[in-house]
Amino acid sequence: MEKVKIAVVGAGPAGIACGVEAKVNNIEPVVIFEKAQHICDTIQRLYRAGKRVDAVYRGVDVEPVGICRFDTESKEEFLKRMENFVKDYNLNIQLKSEVNKITKVDDGYEITVNWEPKYIADFVIIAIGIFGQPNRPSYPIPKEAKSRVFLEPPTSPLSGKILVVGGGDTAAEVACFMCDCAAEVSLSYRRPQFFRINPVNLQNLEERAKAGKINLMMATDIEKIEGAGDKVKVYFKDGKEELYDYICYCLGGTSPKGFLRQVGVELDEEERPVIDEYFEVKNMPKVFLAGDIGVKKGSILLAFNTAHIVIERIKEKYLK
């Protein structure tokens, strides 16, 4: 098996930033594993063409501390930035390489990739994002309705009558995008007002609602849905029923707890990983988390910052 200094799981913004920070600090060799066929899979897969990539998310402003940083820009501009990081710092990224196990051995951690032990690493950084596992509604999605239901943001326009479910930035962006494409859009949110949308998205949403392009259904909740021919019938808890051509759920994502458990990361009562202030896993020394998986409220800038903090900690605690 090949011996490396750091094995990074995930080639999203946090994983790439870890590689950049390690290179600048002359910590080598570093290998980055990505199970998808391209870097930044969430952005590649879920962001439509031209979609804004925000530096500030949910109103949480972050002061950049590391090498990787950016201002709000388009999907295409951001992906080009990340590709330049990979090229300029000559990062070793192994695509189509899914990490299945991380096993403690005498001289480090054995990394099983595509079900084959391939590497021994002194340090491991888990930098997988949370949107690979989108949250689902509490009620079941009937088989006959599945072709009309999206659990991830559609990247192409939909026609007809559309219900967007959620109250965050993604829900606001999907609703605005669909109504701008001439669809009839309603947005259902269980709270009476929005509280976690960035100001730009909130303004866009309110302007379209005022113009009659989006029907804001505040303080509404769904009891169940069922297929109704080529439509989806929605039953609201207040007794109302409505037919829609499509439903787009924008309910966020959850940390991949199954993977964390599988590799041995301890979770607390709230099923959050038990880590210290430097994102080191308490029960697995020399294993760190970076990006969304290690913070409560994530953003890309914060993911970049966690990468800087992790590499600085490795350097100061273990490599001096």
Instruction: Region of 68 please: left (phi>0), alpha (psi -120 to 50) or beta.
Output: beta
Q: Find tokens 């109302």 and name the residue.
A: 240
> Treating both helix axes as pointing N-terminal to C-terminal, what angle do 199-210 and 169-180 enclose, rounded to 10 degrees?
40
pTM of the complete model? 0.78
Residue whose C-alpha is closest to residue 42's, from 170, 181, 198: 170
With contact defined as beta carbons under 8 Å apart, do 217 and 188 qualify? yes
Residue ranges of the chain assigned to CATH 3.50.50.60: 2-132+253-318, 143-249
Supply the pLDDT for residue 190. 94
Residue 228, phi then psi, degrees to nearest 5: -140, 75
pLDDT at 131: 61
User: Collapsing DSSP states into helix, strand and coil, what is residue 247?
Assistant: strand
At residue 132, the pLDDT reads 59
Q: Which CATH superfamily is domain 143-249 in?
A: FAD/NAD(P)-binding domain (3.50.50.60)
Secondary element (H or E) of residue 87: helix 75-88
Q: How many angstroms separate the CA atoms of 219 and 193, rounded? A: 8
Token digits of residue 209: 């609602």
Q: In this predicted structure, what is the pLDDT of residue 106?
A: 93
pLDDT tens track, the chain, 320 positions:
899 999 999 999 999 999 999 999 999 999 999 999 999 998 998 888 899 898 876 666 789 999 999 999 999 999 999 999 999 999 999 999 999 999 999 999 999 999 999 999 999 999 997 765 678 999 999 999 999 999 988 878 899 999 999 998 889 999 999 998 888 999 999 999 998 788 888 999 999 999 999 999 999 999 999 999 999 999 999 999 999 999 999 987 766 788 898 899 999 988 889 999 999 999 999 999 999 888 877 789 999 999 999 999 999 999 98
List residues bridging with 113 in a β-sheet. 99, 116
* Rama region for 271: left / alpha / beta (φ>0; ψ in -120 to 50; rest): left
CB atoms within 10 A of CB 262: 13
Report the alpha-carbon distance of residue 245 to residue 161 in Å, rounded.
5
> Which tokens in the block code for residue 111?
């990394």
Alpha-carbon torsion angle 194, 199, 200, 202, nearest 10:
20
Task: Please say whether the beta carbons of 163 and 234 come within 8 A.
Answer: yes
pLDDT for the residue 134: 79
Contact predicate 201/169, CB 8 Å: yes
DSSP H or E run through 226: strand 222-228
| Residue with token string 């094995």 | 7
CATH code of the domain occupying 2-132+253-318: 3.50.50.60
